Structure 1
Amino acid sequence: MIRAFFKEFRLWLLTFPALVLAFLATFYLYRLPLTYFWVSLAFVSLIAVICYGLAFWQFYRKMAQLQSGQLEGSLSRLDRPSDRAYQNLLAQQEQQYKQELLTYKSKEEDLASVVQMWSHQMKVPLAAIDLMNQTGQVTKTDLDSQLLSLNHYLANLLNYLKLSKQTSDFRFEEVAVRDLVVNLVKDYRVHFLQKELSIQIDGEWALKTDKKWLRFALAQILDNAIKYSQKGGSITISLSDGIIIRDQGIGILAEDLPRIFEQGFTGYNGHEHQKASGFGLYMTKSILDQLELIIDIKSQIDNGTQVTIRKK
């Protein structure tokens, strides 16, 4: 404790003997009577010992309380301006730590919720494949459709993890959107055949963007268009200064439209038909925002849905 006290107050402790030596040299050089020096030294030394003793006692009590963890009593003794500034800094860091902890816990809860929804979605195609295997009624079209759904759900989860951890690797380049859409439709041809849907693609659009992430966003929209279309319906994709995807599906309730981009929100139709996960459109909106694109959705019940994507 004495060593710590000397370390903290070493400047003041060393100042006194330095001053004593300076005065002694002054008396000696000017040949002043040393009697006055020794009397003054005795008096000043007594005062210094009392002051140092009080300072040590206060330092000892403060250190003892700090070491014992009794912060409430010790903080009242930290009343110097530098101590107050340090306490304010600690308070700010504590508040920041609490905020970061709340954010981390919120992300953990969101991830747990997403994984739970994802696991329920994965069960549907897995159960369908298992049923086909048990009954022996396995067709290539049905099997390809279920495998495509599994790949789609898996891609959703992996890309959600990338977005939530902000590890998305955007690479902007000139993209022929028509070619991207055509290839995407080819990937989903099994679903189109299964529901007997017709597809029409009109126009061209060249855009400087990230091809991989734009494709993922469009895949979410096209998957929803197929999923909620009636058998024998049609889907139209128009390209000009943007992308317009129209379907003739069951549509979205007007009161659900303002919330469709919220994470975990499925809406009435998604809940009723048990097809929505609640994070496909959320990820689509997040990706398009980072690509500096605007998405707008208009829909009417039983009259289909129109999704428009354009530059800001």
Structure 2
Amino acid sequence: MRLFLREQRPVIVIYFIQLAVVTFVYWLDGYRNAAVSMYAVLLSSCLLAGYLVFRYLTHRSFYRRLQEPAESIGDFTDVKPSSPLSESLHRLLKSQYRHYISELSGQTEKIEGHIRFINQWVHQMKTPISVIHLMVQQESDSRSVAIADELDRLRKGLDMVLYTARLDQFEHDIYVETLGLEKLVRSLITAQKRLFIRGKVFPVIEMEPQLSVVSDEKWLTFVLTQLITNAVRYTLRENGKLYFRAYAKNGRTMLEIEDEGIGIPESDLPRVFDAYFTGENGRRFQESTGMGMYLAKEICWKLGHELDIESEEGRGTLVRMKF
């Protein structure tokens, strides 16, 4: 109704101005019967009111659709045009909607093609990495060890690219099952033994063996790998420890990973999970990309887990995952 009145306001104003002018002309011509003039004004006003009521009733759905916010891009299609103006606007919106859908489909196809290319490229790169790793794993000289370390970094970088590309299509690549938490952590520690040796960090497992969680093993393994990599990377002192704790609390399973590293400055803590945020520590360690913790948070959210972080600069960092 408000939109209708705002649109018809000029018509109403012009009508009363015209009525006043006509009445004034008749008054100048000598017709000064006030009762007849008022009767004419009343009849004319009734005609105007009838026109406005008819106009509102026939355009009510159109005005309501303009006034209410759209819930989706195709929400206008349920409006039935009731006048030439609304019909023309409806045709225009449908035409723009078709162009929008066409462009959106084209862009979506390009993005999906790009993701397919990234996935294929990552898998192709993993093959020579595995071959080189087999060539140097039996060697114990410092050069071969350095090559193996760089291969580990390269493999983790490729995994990050792959999981980042798949994140938007997460629901197409998920398999939920019951996982033994201690077994999963021990297998991760074994897979990352070169990282622990290079960083001179010792893992300490304090977990109840019967604890299990419901999750996707592949995505959860990627998240835990990111957390372990960060913990070891920022533990500078030799013979530092990385604690893995798991326990049940209030009907939920908690997994804590606590390091004895340099910690996170208090000013950086609220932005740790932001994409591309490296913070003060990231500027000191050039390997930081600012994507590891962001991906961990996003994957945990999609899996239905919670990820919290506590840290004190100079004392270490504790990351808690709630299942």
The answer to whether TM tops 0.5 is yes
1:172-213 Cα shifts (integer Å, max 9, x gaps): 111001111101111111121122211111113301111111
Q: Distance in 2 between matches of 1:207 and 1:165?
A: 23
The alpha carbon displacement at 1:233 in A equals 0.8
Match of 1:207, SS?
strand
Q: Distance in 2 between matches of 1:101 and 1:293?
A: 34
Q: 1:199 touches 1:234 (CA, 8 Å); kept in 2?
A: yes
| Corresponding position of 1:215 | 221
Runs of 4+ aligned residues of structure 1 deviating over 6 Å after TM superposition are 95-105
Q: Distance in 1 between matches of 2:264 and 2:106?
A: 37
Q: 1:295 touches 1:309 (CA, 8 Å); kept in 2?
A: yes
| Corresponding position of 1:277 | 289
AA at the equivalent of 2:90: A
Q: Distance in 2 between matches of 1:285 and 1:160?
A: 12
| Pair 1:157-2:164 in alignment | no
| Pair 1:82-2:87 in alignment | yes
TM-score, normalising length from structure 1?
A: 0.60
Alignment of 1:3-42 (within 5 A): none
Q: Distance in 2 between matches of 1:173 and 1:193?
A: 32
| Corresponding position of 2:242 | 235
Q: 2:179 touches 2:212 (CA, 8 Å); kept in 1?
A: yes
Match of 2:319, SS?
strand
Q: Distance in 2 between matches of 1:138 and 1:203?
A: 36
1:70-114 Cα shifts (integer Å, max 9, x gaps): xxxxxxxx9454332211333455677788999999x89xx9xxx
The alpha carbon displacement at 1:165 in A equals 4.5
* Count of residue pairs the alignment pairs up: 215
AA at the equivalent of 2:272: I
Residue 187 of structure 1, aligned match among 185, 191, 194: 191
Q: 1:210 touches 1:291 (CA, 8 Å); kept in 2?
A: yes
Q: Distance in 2 between matches of 1:262 and 1:247?
A: 21
The alpha carbon displacement at 1:140 in A equals 4.2
Residue 300 of structure 1, aligned match among 312, 316, 322: 312
Q: Using a 3 Å threshold, how does the CA distance of structure 1 residues 247 and 174 change in structure 2: closer, same or farther?
A: same
| Pair 1:252-2:264 in alignment | yes
Q: 2:262 touches 2:315 (CA, 8 Å); kept in 1?
A: yes
Q: 2:202 touches 2:242 (CA, 8 Å); kept in 1?
A: yes
1:252-277 Cα shifts (integer Å, max 9, x gaps): 11111111111111111012221211
Alignment of 1:65-214 (within 5 A): 79=84, 81-92=86-97, 138-166=142-170, 168-204=172-208, 205-214=211-220
Q: Distance in 1 between matches of 2:318 and 2:95?
A: 53
- Where structure 1 has 5 or more consecutive residues not aligned to the other structure, the ranges are 1-77, 112-128, 130-136
Q: 1:141 touches 1:194 (CA, 8 Å); kept in 2?
A: no
AA at the equivalent of 1:251: G
Q: Distance in 1 between matches of 2:269 and 2:106?
A: 32
Q: Using a 3 Å threshold, how does the CA distance of structure 1 residues 165 and 291 change in structure 2: closer, same or farther?
A: closer
Q: Which one has a bigger Cα radius of gyration? A: 1
Match of 1:244, SS?
strand
Q: Distance in 2 between matches of 1:198 and 1:247?
A: 10
